[in-house]
Amino acid sequence: MKLDIPLGALQSADTGNLYGAGRIVSSDEAAFAAVRVMGTCFATGHAAGVAAACQALDGTADIGRIREELIRQGTFI
C-alpha cells in the first residue's frame, strides 16, 4: 500500500502562498502518528519549500513541477 501526503495538507486553507510542514501538517489523529516522525517532518519541509519556491517563480504550485524538482534534488518520494 502506498501512502502519500497530498500537497493540500501542506497548504494553508485561507492564505494562498503559505505552506506548513512537519508537525503542523493537516491530518486526522490516525495519520498524525505517522506524519509527526522526524523523517516525514524533514520530507514535508523540503516539499513545502520547493512548493513555495515554485509558486514564487511560476505563480502556481503545480504538483508535476514540484515532483520533478524534488526528484531532481534526489528526494525520496
Which pLDDT score, from 0 to 100, does residue 76 have? 79
**Has residue 11 been placed in a domain?**
yes
| Grid coordinates of 19 | 505552506
Residues 6+ apart with CB under 8 A from 69: 50, 53, 54
Residue 37: left (phi > 0), alpha (psi -120 to 50), or beta? beta
Task: Establish if 77 belongs to a structural domain.
Answer: no
Q: How many structural domains are present in the chain?
A: 1
25 within domain boundaries: yes
Q: Is residue 21 part of a domain?
A: yes
Residue numbers of the domain that contains 19: 7-72
First to last CA, the chain: 14
Quick one: pLDDT at residue 50?
Answer: 95
| C-alpha distances in Å from residue 24, one per residue of 1, 47, 69 | 24, 14, 23
Three cell numbers written together for 10: 501542506
Which pTM value belongs to this model?
A: 0.82
47 domain-assigned: yes
pLDDT tens per residue across span 3-56: 688 888 888 888 878 898 877 777 777 777 777 788 888 888 999 999 999 999
